[in-house]
Amino acid sequence: MDKADWNQIRAFQATVEHGSLSAAARHLALTQPTLSRQVAALEEGLGVTLFERVGKRLELTESGRDLIEHARRMTDAANDFHLSASGRSNAVEGVVSISATDGIAMHLIPPALQRIRSEAPGISIELVISNSLSDLRRREADIAIRHVRPEDPELTGKLLRNAKANFYASRQWVEDNGMPVRADDAKAASFIGFDREERFAGHLRAMGLDVSEANFPVYCDNALIVTELIRQGFGIGVMMSEIAEKHTDLVQVLKDLPQIEFPIWLVTHRELHTSRKIRLVFDILAEELGKDQST
């Protein structure tokens, strides 16, 4: 192919973004046969197969995955051209989905959302609240905030910082039970568990705490509920320090134990990172969540 036909490239990208030839045709105000011919002509001109049909779905081939990023960049460049010509070069619009745990979403993301609203009012944010790893390759979210480094080569990640967590209890619990400082002080203490598969209890034992099932009156994997259970005196719990410090009715306990450190990663699909709106949101999140928000 000597020259790239913009209409064919646009048809290719629209098919990827909208998931089917019929939906892409409606988006571009074309008939489906016309759009199909454009995609077929692009494949013929490039000498590659861009899609393969899996059941009723179209899936990108390896060649298609390699080329879609370039198509998106061309689309962004074309949009920039038109926006600049109309005096709206700073306009960025659309929905960006962010996957985060409940605690991160409630306490750390709002300052970033305020900046996004101020700097790019055309962008709407969808928060996907999940305590599991969202599958970015399946487009469950555009950006994910994770506590593990992404290993998938299709993903790109940025380590923002290492956050700290400690043990906390309510002031009333401490008045009733005393202030535990060392691991030996908490042998009979109640703890709020995150799971029943022994992972959390195993972490505590590795820190020197002699805990068993009898130490856990309640389990919950929702950080917001865990925070409320700690505040209501059900026992000792682990909380991200900068979140715990927002609650004046909580106090740090077991101060002789080492702080728990965990990474905060910002992750997106390497193709999606070429989108102007996603890149803008990614950069604001990186700057805001990279700050320690301790009081």
CATH node for 164-260: 3.40.190.10
**Residue extents of the structural domains in the chain:** 6-85, 94-162+263-289, 164-260
The model's confidence at residue 89, banded by pLDDT at 50, 70 and 90, is very low
Name the CATH topology of 94-162+263-289: D-Maltodextrin-Binding Protein; domain 2 (3.40.190)
Share of the chain above pLDDT 90, in %: 51
pLDDT at 244 over 50: yes
> pLDDT averaged over the chain?
87
One fold for both 6-85 and 94-162+263-289? no
Please compute the mean of the pLDDT values over residues 50-72 and round it to a whole number. Answer: 86
Among candidates 120, 169, 163, which has minimal Cα distance to 278?
Answer: 120
The model's confidence at residue 88, banded by pLDDT at 50, 70 and 90, is very low
- H/E stretch holding 262: strand 260-269
**Residue 50: DSSP 8-state:** -
Distance CA 263, CA 251 (A): 23
Q: Report the range of poorest mean pLDDT among 32-36, 91-95, 182-186, 245-249.
A: 91-95
Share of the chain above pLDDT 70, in %: 89
Q: Are 122 and 91 in contact (CB under 8 A)?
A: yes
Please compute the mean of the pLDDT values over residues 253-266 and round it to a whole number. Answer: 94
Q: What contacts 104, CB < 8 A, 6 or more positions away? A: 145, 264, 289
Q: Report the range of poorest mean pLDDT among 39-43, 82-86, 180-184.
A: 82-86
Name the CATH topology of 6-85: Arc Repressor Mutant, subunit A (1.10.10)
The model's confidence at residue 28, banded by pLDDT at 50, 70 and 90, is confident
